Each structure stands twice: as structure tokens, then as C-alpha cells.
């Protein structure tokens, strides 16, 4: 007897489920691909695990430290299993790609914060306490090169923030 395939409609922990059946040999093969944790998204007092595509797939405990990316969402949106952490996929990609660029340049990200979503802004705090402000709508042009040159051009320990929210401009204080 075959299982009701409707039971597999809501499986946020898996990215793919394949069911192959061979009626003549009376065999059914089920293969699943699980989602891998990319980071933790915290909103409204709850934290959720999300994958590299921004899909929420499990409720998780709150964490601190540098080993797992943690995003604090200051908005009052409800996050649901199987859904996306943000309403636009390109926003998710911009955040994750920016974090990747910083990590590849040995910049320890201590946290990400999604500010008022209507402003379409977010920021990263690094281990030294310095904040980087970004727009959700784009990754700053040549960010990889800029990050490599920042420490040579500026005394980062004296700064409180670097602002990348305006295209082709960098502001700092």
C-alpha cells in the first residue's frame, strides 16, 4: 500500500524528496535531501534555522558567538517554517553574499541586524565593535577590494561605522 503523498507536502527540513515506484517488482525507493544550516534567524523572541537559500526549516535555540551566523530581525513579521526569512529572494542573496565576502577577508562577523524593513537597510557588527551599514537592494560595487584596502586607508579601531547604503559611496565616522 502506498503512503498518501499529501503527507509530504510540508517538509521544511528537506530540500528535495523523490519517490520512485516499480509496481512490477513491488519496490518503492524514497530519497531525501536534508537542508543544511546556514545561520540562525531570530525574530519576536524565537529563533529559526535557515539554509543557504533563506528557507526556514526548524526552530532552534538562541546562540552567541562567531561560529554560526546569527541574524536579529527587529521587525514584527512572523517567520514560519517552510517560508523565506525575507520577502524578496534578492535581499537574502545580497545579505548572504556580503557576509561571505567579509568572511573571506578574515572579518569576523559577530552579528547581523535587519533594521526597519520599510527602510530596506541592514547592518553587520564585527568582532571589534565596528558596524557596516548596507542596503538590502544591492551589494556595494567592488566590496571585496574595498574590504581588503580598508585597514590600509583608515584606522578601523577609531571608527564606529562604515556606511555602504548609497551606491558608489562610502561614508564613515
Spatial contact of 147 and 105, defined as CB atoms under 8 Å apart? yes
Q: Which residues of 85-119 are buried (b: 16+ CB within 10 A; e: fewer)?
A: bbeeeebbebbbebbebbeeeebebebbbbbebee
Residue 119 has what DSSP assignment?
G
The whole-model pTM stands at: 0.84
Per-residue model confidence as pLDDT tens digits over 123-145: 999 988 999 999 999 999 999 99
pLDDT band at 115 (very low <50, low <70, confident <90, very high): very high
Per-residue model confidence as pLDDT tens digits over 66-82: 889 999 999 998 999 99
Helices (H), 7-66: none
Cell numbers placing 106: 578574515
Amino acid at each position: 500500500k502506498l503512503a498518501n503523498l499529501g503527507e509530504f507536502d510540508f517538509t521544511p527540513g528537506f530540500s528535495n524528496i523523490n519517490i520512485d515506484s516499480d509496481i512490477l517488482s513491488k519496490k518503492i525507493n524514497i530519497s531525501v535531501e536534508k537542508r543544511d544550516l546556514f545561520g540562525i534567524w531570530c525574530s519576536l523572541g524565537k529563533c529559526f534555522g535557515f539554509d543557504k537559500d533563506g528557507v526556514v526549516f526548524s526552530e532552534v535555540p538562541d546562540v552567541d558567538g562567531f561560529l554560526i551566523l546569527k541574524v536579529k530581525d527587529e521587525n514584527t513579521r512572523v517567520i514560519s517554517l517552510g517560508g523565506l526569512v525575507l520577502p524578496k529572494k534578492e535581499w537574502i542573496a545580497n545579505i548572504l553574499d556580503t557576509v561571505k565576502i567579509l568572511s573571506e577577508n578574515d572579518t569576523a562577523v559577530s552579528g547581523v541586524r535587519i533594521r526597519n524593513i520599510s527602510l530596506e537597510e541592514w547592518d553587520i557588527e564585527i568582532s571589534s565593535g565596528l558596524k557596516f551599514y548596507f542596503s538590502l537592494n544591492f551589494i556595494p560595487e567592488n566590496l571585496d577590494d574595498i574590504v581588503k584596502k580598508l585597514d590600509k586607508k583608515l584606522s578601523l579601531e577609531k571608527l564606529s561605522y562604515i556606511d555602504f547604503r548609497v551606491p558608489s559611496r562610502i561614508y564613515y565616522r
